């Protein structure tokens, strides 16, 4: 498959996944088309696993662990894990969101994670998420909801009323200046009733049965290639759906079958808000699943610890691509360039989990895959971001590396990246998954 086709598939994947809850349903749809088939495991049931079997577990609709059980004993091979996250920074609708004033109905929002707020102005926004309701059998269940048409907007102030915007930057007061305009025609109804009716209509659930919901704001603009040779692409949520998509392509690669090692993809919600939740990387989800894989496949209780000691995790999240208009934002020795390959992220204070040996192993897999690679270190006078890498490797005690593809405008509603890099990343991840004994080192 060409590099451009891989990216087209990524753009389609993101179009189908406007919220972290939709990411899981998009992945499930792809798994349903695969042979051999994938089996969903229920955390409340007892698990029976077969060597070579393909399984996945979902926790609370927005985190997922997928694995292919290795042919060889777990204690001999360990787990080959790729971790990434399903959530992206943005705006979420507050519970009692609707208010009406001066003939305009607005929805109050809460800021989720660290978006570049100014990029949310003047976009064709809409809503996606999940509705919790009581069904005909009196059970409380969730259903995904997505509005396709542009539904909401955050119009900018005209420059005539904000004369210094180009000198001072666009600053939005977070409580008073972020509510989104929804409607000018809700005069006859109470605002909250109007909004409930809208949800009821879209979800096909009677308003009286709707008990709660999670709703994220998304941009309805589709992904696009750009540049004279379409060498770049742009979309929302590339951080971090590009990494989820690359890892999934590697896991679904038929050449990887049947694997010796147990191959795992772990995609977590809540990375952008610190990972501390029942389904976040700092929660019990991945340790629970790995331990249960071990319990289901061996009777020796020491084997789980032996398997972890043999394991390796690639923590994949996006990296800051060099933007030549802002040279002072970067360390001059660590400019990572779009379309020049995956980035190994290094931080002495362990904001990234990479160390010399894991970095060397990843560099070696890049060379074996025929992919170039680059190394990133943040400026010393700027605080560095972090990832699920340090958290997960600390919890499990396994060797880990932080990598990611170069990305412009991280946490903008419209991020962009290089077409070649996505293809390179898929090749390296395939190499990691197919390398027998890949994790054995040190």
Q: What does the binding site for Co ion look like in residue numbers (CB under 5 A)?
A: 239-240, 317
Q: Which residues contact 208 (CB under 8 A, 6 or more apart)?
A: none
Closest distance of CB 205 from Co ion, Å: 33
User: Closer to Co ion at the Cβ: 297 or 387?
Assistant: 387
Rounded Cα gap, residues 18 and 70, in angstroms = 33
Rounded Cα gap, residues 111 and 174, in angstroms = 8
User: Closer to Co ion at the Cβ: 240 or 392?
Assistant: 240
Closest distance of CB 264 from Co ion, Å: 19
User: Closer to Co ion at the Cβ: 239 or 260?
Assistant: 239
Closest distance of CB 238 from Co ion, Å: 9
Packing angle, helices 285-297 and 303-310, rounded to 10: 120
Q: Are β-strands 90-101 and 232-235 bridged in parallel, bridged antiparallel, or unpaired?
A: unpaired
Closest distance of CB 215 from Co ion, Å: 21
User: Closer to Co ion at the Cβ: 317 or 421?
Assistant: 317
User: Closer to Co ion at the Cβ: 75 or 343?
Assistant: 343
CB 215 within 8 A of CB 226: no
Rounded Cα gap, residues 349 and 358, in angstroms = 16
Closest distance of CB 165 from Co ion, Å: 29
Closest distance of CB 370 from Co ion, Å: 26
User: Closer to Co ion at the Cβ: 61 or 317?
Assistant: 317
Packing angle, helices 3-15 and 419-434, rounded to 10: 90
Closest distance of CB 240 from Co ion, Å: 4
The closest of 40, 84, 45 to 292, measured between CA atoms, is 45
Three-class SS of 219-243 = ECCCCEEECCCCCEEEECCHHHHHH
The closest of 200, 121, 135 to 165, measured between CA atoms, is 121
User: Closer to Co ion at the Cβ: 119 or 291?
Assistant: 119
């Amino acid at each position: 498959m060409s590099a451009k086709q891989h990216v087209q598939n990524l753009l389609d994947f993101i179009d189908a996944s406007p919220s972290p809850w939709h990411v899981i349903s998009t992945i499930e749809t792809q798994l349903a088309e695969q042979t051999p088939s994938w089996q969903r495991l229920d955390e409340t049931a007892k698990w029976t696993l077969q060597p070579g079997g393909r399984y996945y577990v979902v926790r609370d609709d927005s985190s997922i662990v997928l694995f292919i059980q290795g042919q060889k004993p777990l204690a001999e091979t360990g787990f080959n894990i790729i971790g990434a996250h399903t959530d992206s920074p943005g705006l979420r609708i507050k519970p009692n969101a609707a208010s009406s004033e001066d003939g305009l109905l607005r929805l109050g929002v809460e800021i989720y994670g660290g978006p570049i707020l100014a990029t949310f102005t003047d976009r064709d926004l809409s809503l996606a998420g999940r509705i919790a309701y009581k069904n005909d059998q009196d059970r409380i269940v969730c259903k995904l909801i997505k509005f396709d048409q542009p539904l909401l907007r955050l119009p900018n102030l005209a420059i005539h009323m904000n004369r210094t915007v180009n000198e001072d930057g666009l600053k939005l007061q977070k409580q008073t200046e972020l509510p989104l305009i929804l409607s000018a025609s809700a005069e006859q109804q109470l605002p909250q009733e109007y909004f409930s009716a809208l949800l009821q209509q879209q979800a096909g659930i009677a308003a009286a049965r709707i008990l709660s919901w999670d709703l994220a704001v998304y941009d309805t603009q589709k992904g696009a290639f750009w540049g004279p040779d379409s060498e770049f692409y742009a979309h929302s949520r590339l951080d971090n759906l590009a990494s989820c998509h690359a890892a999934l392509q590697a896991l679904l690669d038929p050449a990887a079958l049947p694997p010796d090692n147990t191959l795992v993809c772990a995609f977590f919600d809540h990375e952008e808000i610190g990972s501390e939740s029942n389904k976040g990387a700092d929660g019990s989800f991945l340790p629970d699943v790995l331990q249960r894989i071990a319990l289901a496949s061996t009777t020796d209780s020491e084997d789980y610890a032996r398997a972890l000691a043999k394991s390796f995790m690639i923590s994949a999240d996006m990296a800051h691509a060099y933007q030549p208009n802002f040279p002072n934002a970067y360390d001059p020795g660590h400019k990572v360039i779009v379309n020049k390959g995956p980035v190994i992220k290094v931080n002495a204070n362990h904001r990234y989990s990479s160390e010399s040996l894991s970095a060397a192993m990843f560099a070696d897999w890049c060379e074996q895959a025929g992919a170039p690679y680059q190394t990133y270190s943040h400026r010393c006078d700027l605080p560095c971001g972090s990832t699920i890498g340090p958290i997960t490797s600390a919890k499990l005690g396994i060797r880990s590396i932080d990598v990611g593809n170069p990305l412009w405008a991280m946490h903008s509603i419209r991020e962009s990246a290089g077409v070649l890099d996505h293809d390179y990343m898929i090749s390296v991840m395939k190499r990691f998954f197919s390398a027998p004994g890949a994790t054995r080192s040190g």
